[in-house]
Chain A
Amino acid sequence: QSVLTQPPSVSGAPGQRIIISCTGSSSNIGAGYDVHWYQQLPGTAPKLLIYANSHRPSGVPDRFSGSKSGTSASLAISGLRAEDESDYYCQSYDTGLSVWVFGGGTKLTV
């Protein structure tokens, strides 16, 4: 049972927009800690996609965007492409556990 809750799977057609949610609590996201998002393609290490809730590292397309509100955060992907098919994880800090925590991951099917 992950501290941060994500839907196990989402799907969308090419060109569509999808949103992946990440629900936490008052000891992590709700406590004001930043949320970060990662993309993990099969057989590869995770790649940082969004940091500090809504910022994109250099090289990440602006089709990817993040937001945070209250005890939840969201990753939006617009203009879906076949190569976006991947696993996506949210991550934050939990003050109760005193450690960084990941969501359970969401498999995106395009």
Chain B
Amino acid sequence: EVQLVQSGAEVKKPGESLKISCKTSGYSFNTNWIGWVRQVPGKGLEWMGVIYPSDSDVRYSPSFQGQVTISADKSITTAYLQWSSLEASDTAIYYCAKPTNGAPDYWGQGTLITVSS
């Protein structure tokens, strides 16, 4: 059974750093793209980027290039999303998702990030 289990909710202050995780199981992690999707409360879905764990090829959406870092650890089949300096506008729910032929068919449960002073 394919599972994507994300780390828990976080409350951070502006300027702080953060790394959230997505632990996967039940499929070949190395040879499948995995990505991150942002959803600001009350708003729509936005693709942030995807990574191919086998060679760490990362593709960022232009809106998120330089704002976040996507990485993966093949040894523990886990994907990561990190910020070096959070802003209030980063407050959102972040989902990891595994696309098959471009369509995310498995999703994590979501991680709520709240950035507030």
Q: A100: which B residues are within 8 A, CB to CB?
A: 35, 47, 50, 99, 102
Out of A33, A57, A93, which one reaches B105, CB within 8 Å?
Answer: A57
Complexed CA–CA distance, A103 and B61 (Å): 14
Q: A98: which B residues are within 8 A, CB to CB?
A: 59
Closest A residue to B100 by CB, please name it.
Answer: A51
* A76-110 to B contact mask, C-beta < 8 Å, 1/0: 00000000000001011100011111111100000
Closest B residue to A45 by CB, please name it.
Answer: B107
Q: B28: which A residues are within 8 A, CB to CB?
A: none
Cβ A46 vs Cβ B45 within 8 A = yes
Among B44, B102, B103, residue most surrounded by chain A Cβ atoms (within 10 Å)? B103
Q: A19: which B residues are within 8 A, CB to CB?
A: none
Q: A34: which B residues are within 8 A, CB to CB?
A: 101-103
Q: Given A46-B95, A99-B59, A89 and B45 touching (CB < 8 A)?
A: yes
Cβ B103 vs Cβ A102 within 8 A = no
By secondary structure, the A interface counts as: strand
Cβ B110 vs Cβ A102 within 8 A = no
Out of B35, B46, B101, which one reaches A51, CB within 8 Å?
Answer: B101
Cβ A99 vs Cβ B62 within 8 A = yes
Complexed CA–CA distance, A98 and B100 (Å): 17
Q: B61: which A residues are within 8 A, CB to CB?
A: 97, 99, 101
Q: B100: which A residues are within 8 A, CB to CB?
A: 51
Cβ B45 vs Cβ A51 within 8 A = no
Q: A46: which B residues are within 8 A, CB to CB?
A: 37, 45, 95, 97, 104, 107
Complexed CA–CA distance, A36 and B61 (Å): 18
Cβ B44 vs Cβ A105 within 8 A = yes
